[in-house]
Amino acid sequence: MNRRTFARNAAAALIAVRAGSALSAAEPTDALTPLRTKPLNIGILIFPRMDQIDFTGPFAVLSRLPESALHVIAHERGPVRDHKGLILTPDTTLADAPPFDVLQIPGGPGQEALMEDEAVLSLIRKQNESGRVIFSVCTGALLCGAAGILRGRRATTHWAAFDLLRYFGATPIDSRVVVDGNLVSAAGVTAGIDGALRLASLVRSKQVAQEIQLDIQYAPEPPFDAGNPKHAPRDVVTAVSTRYRPLTDARRLTAQKVAARLGVPALP
Amino acid sequence: MNRRTFARNAAAALIAVRAGSALSAAEPTDALTPLRTKPLNIGILIFPRMDQIDFTGPFAVLSRLPESALHVIAHERGPVRDHKGLILTPDTTLADAPPFDVLQIPGGPGQEALMEDEAVLSLIRKQNESGRVIFSVCTGALLCGAAGILRGRRATTHWAAFDLLRYFGATPIDSRVVVDGNLVSAAGVTAGIDGALRLASLVRSKQVAQEIQLDIQYAPEPPFDAGNPKHAPRDVVTAVSTRYRPLTDARRLTAQKVAARLGVPALP
């Protein structure tokens, strides 16, 4: 942690204490534990060209939480297609959405088109200001960044976008799941399942999370050790990184614009 | 393997050899390797009260296969809801579906309602007769059983339904993914992701499967060791098994009826 980040975190903690919120750096789950005893309204945003499993993976977990209602929200009623063509349909719209205890923001290539979408950014901003939970999956973290809520906070995202987190004033943490106050972020795509189980344990209990894990038989056995760029064979990393380059370049340009707007100091 | 099963397997192998098919017990992937060099039509069945992630997990993998088209099929056009309320919409109907190189059959509680559905069962039966690939996920295996295609074959399914496989004349194999000729079966729910990656390596290549695995950052880190009943804490297994009991009892009655219809000898 550099001095600037430390100062920012310390200021955030101070504001949190003043506001009576539970955003304490020392006890990062304080924002979540009060939810354990209340019914939960959970909202998940969907949008065109998202990655469906950023949404459906966590849905499998969160839809099994006791005493919870799950709302799938989008700009408009009517179906959207994920970037591989899967048809996804919301239950409600941004305008009609109830207040959420947990708001999930998935990612995927379509996130780029929402980086200046005020309806989406203000949904995220208001959720954060209320101190209630934000759960970003994959490049959903970039949307949180564009909303300005990553400043001075620890977060993660898909490996191909990981370095971009700093443009939003965040401290990138190379973990599968990162909990920072009311912000839970999961790394790329399938990390949303791990993130949702972690979240389940925080807003309900370890027992509830374990029962869900057993129910969905989540004892993964990936056939190869290729799920992250540190372990995957070199030529596999090169092939996938090359395919990502145009998207990563576009995301970097957008992130630089956001950095200027938020007043995040230029990166070296 | 008892003598009856052995005799059945031997007969099946003999028929396979006679028919020039690739259903050889010695080389279980022979049915899949010829697909490596051709474009693939992949069909995935959806139905009401299925478990969406049996479908969407593998979709994340299979939709990334090069030179492939993915078709989401259902009885009727128009949306269905999974057993937790997620809205799923097909691209085409059973009646309009093209021939498939790979047919994926997901599971979930709604599988029970299809156990005597001739349109679904005959789709599975014809796919099997053609020697092309069937990929069952979770209790999709029970539908394959009702179609009569598990007789004398090794297969797996969700842990809570595992013992039922024998009613269909199958040999239950306690593995996350089982490959038997043109039949690939995955265990419960999230095992579909492991199964799809295995399938990707068989119908394309190890390199392709690894690239997909890296793309979807599938380096899982379950927060607990509770994903299968052998490792989960005792009280977690009891709680989940108890909730499953009415469904498992109903599935057993149905499986016994199928066994009688197929002439599978009564179990001890």
Range of the domain at A63: 27-262
Q: What 8-state DSSP symbol labels residue A155?
A: E
Rounded to an integer, what distance in angstroms lies between the CA atom of residue B175 and that of residue A13?
48
Report residue B219 as tokens.
């380096």
**Does residue B35 carry a pLDDT above 80?**
yes
pLDDT at B30: 72
Question: What's the confidence (pLDDT) of residue B26?
Answer: 38
User: Cα dist. A118→A94, A121, A139, B50, B219 in Å?
Assistant: 11, 5, 18, 36, 34
Distance, CA of B36 to CA of A1 (rounded, Å): 49
Please give the pLDDT value at position B18.
33
Q: In a mutagenesis test of the A interface, which of B214, B231, B236 is the best target, namely the one with the most A β-carbons within 10 Å?
A: B214
Is A227's CB within 8 Å of B233's CB? no
- Is A4 part of any domain? no
* Position with higher pLDDT, B6 vs A249: A249
CB pairs < 8 Å spanning A and B: 215
- Closest partner residue to A240 (CB to CB) among B56, B189, B214 is B214
The angle, 0 to 180 degrees and rounded to 10, between the axes of the packed helices B52-62 and B191-203 is: 30
Q: Is B232 on the interface with A (CB under 8 A)?
A: yes
Instruction: Please check whether residue A226 touches B, CB under 8 A.
Output: yes
DSSP conformational letter for A111: G
- Token digits of residue B116: 């005597």
Show the tokens assigned to B222: 């379950």
Determine the residue of chain A that is closest to B175 in CA distance.
A221
**CA-CA distance, B142 to B166, in Å (whole number)?**
10
The Cα A105–Cα B151 span in angstroms is: 45
Name residues whose C-beta falls within 8 Å of residue A86's C-beta, 6 or more positions apart in sequence. Answer: A52, B56, B59, B63, B72
Q: How many CB atoms lie within 10 A of CB A156?
A: 28
Q: Is B77 exposed, middle or buried (0-12, 13-18, 19+ CB in 10 A)?
A: exposed
Alpha helix segments (H runs only) across A140-233: 140-146, 191-203, 206-215
Per-residue H/E/C for A20-86: CCCCCCCCCCCCCHHHHHCCEEEEEECCCCCCHHHHHHHHHHHCCCCCEEEEEEECCCCCEECCCCC
Catalytic, A144? Answer no
- Residue A61 belongs to some domain of the structure: yes
Domain at B76, CATH number? 3.40.50.880
Q: Which residues pair with B178 in a beta bridge?
A: B185
Distance (Å, whole) CA A91 – CA A83: 20
Contact at CB, A228 and B214, closer than 8 angstroms: yes
> What tens digit of pLDDT does each residue of B43-65 get?
999 999 999 999 999 999 999 99
Provide the pLDDT confidence category of residue B23 given band limits of 50, 70 and 90.
Answer: very low
Nearest to A188 among B176, B216, B226 (CB): B216
Query: Which residues fall within 8 angstroms of residue A171, CB to CB, at 6 or more apart?
Result: A1, A5, A152, A153, A154, A155, A165
Nearest Cα to Cα of residue A16 among A198, A137, A180: A180
Q: How far is CA B96 from CA B71, B82, B109, B144, in A?
A: 11, 22, 26, 21
Instruction: For residue B157, give the nearest of B121, B184, B118, B127 by alpha carbon.
Output: B184
Joined together, the tokens standing for residue B86 give 């997620």
Which is nearest to A35 in space by CA: A70, A73, A67, A71?
A67
Interface of A with B in 105-164 (CB under 8 A): 138, 158-159
Best A92, A217, A234 residue to mutate vs chain B (most B CBs within 10 Å): A217
With a pLDDT cut of 70, the percent of chain A lying above it is: 89
Q: Which residues of B touch A206 (CB under 8 A)?
A: 224
- For residue B73, pLDDT beyond 80: yes
Q: Inspect the interface and report whether the beta carbons of A217 and B63 lie closer than 8 Å.
A: no
In chain A, residues with a C-beta closer than 8 Å to the C-beta of B189 are 60, 215-218
CA dist B186 and B138 (Å) reads 6
The pLDDT, as a whole number, for residue A105 is 98
Note whether residue B267 is domain-resident: no
Cβ-defined contact of A64 to B84 (cutoff 8 Å) = yes
**Can you name the residues that pair with B40 across neighbouring β-strands?**
B68
Sheet holding B183-186, edge to edge: B92-93, B68-74, B40-45, B102-105, B133-137, B183-186, B177-180
Task: Summarize pLDDT for B239-257 with one digit per residue, the tens.
Answer: 999 999 999 999 999 999 9
Predicted pLDDT of residue A5: 42
**Does B193 fall in a domain?**
yes
Name the pTM for this structure.
Answer: 0.89
Say if A205 is an interface residue toward chain B (CB within 8 Å). no
In the set A138, A146, A196, A258, the catalytic residue is A138
Q: Name the residue with tokens 């927060």.
A: B223
Side chain identity at residue A19, one-letter code: A
Within-domain flag for B268:
no
Q: What is the pLDDT of residue B268?
A: 64
Q: Which amino acid is at A107?
A: G
| DSSP track, B106-166 | --SGGGGGGTT-HHHHHHHHHHHHTT-EEEEETTHHHHHHHTT--TT-EE---GGGGGGGG
Answer whether B209 touches A (CB < 8 Å).
Answer: yes
Packing angle, helices B191-203 and B206-215, rounded to 10: 140
Rounded to an integer, what distance in angstroms lies between the CA atom of residue A263 and that of residue A143?
A: 17
Which of B118, B172, B183, B186 has the alpha carbon at shortest distance from B149? B183
Domain count along chain B: 1
- Can you give the pLDDT at residue B182? 95
Q: Which of B88, B190, B207 sits opposite A216 (nearest CB)?
A: B190
Q: Is residue B15 situated within a structural domain?
A: no
Question: Is the minimum CB–CB distance between B37 and chain A shorter than 8 Å?
Answer: no
According to the model, what pLDDT value does residue A268 have?
A: 64
Residue A43 located in a structural domain = yes
Q: Within an 8 Å CB–CB cutoff, is residue B263 touching chain A?
A: no
Task: List the single residue in A189, A191, A214 with the smallest CB-CB distance to B232.
Answer: A214
- Picking from A125, A128, A189, the residue whose alpha carbon sits closest to that of residue A157 is A189
Residue A30: what pLDDT?
Answer: 72
pLDDT, averaged in runs of 10, over chain A (268 residues): 41 35 44 88 98 98 97 96 97 94 98 97 96 97 98 97 97 97 96 97 96 97 96 97 97 96 84
d(CA B88, CA B107): 14
Mean pLDDT across B2-23: 38
pLDDT band at residue B29, thresholds of 50, 70 and 90? low
Count of CB atoms situated within 10 Å of the CB of A5: 17
CA–CA gap between residue A221 and residue A219 (Å, rounded): 7
How many CB atoms are closer than 10 A to CB B250?
13
Residue B4 lies in a domain: no
Q: Best of A216, A228, A237, A244 to disrupt the B interface by mutation (most B CBs within 10 Å)?
A: A216
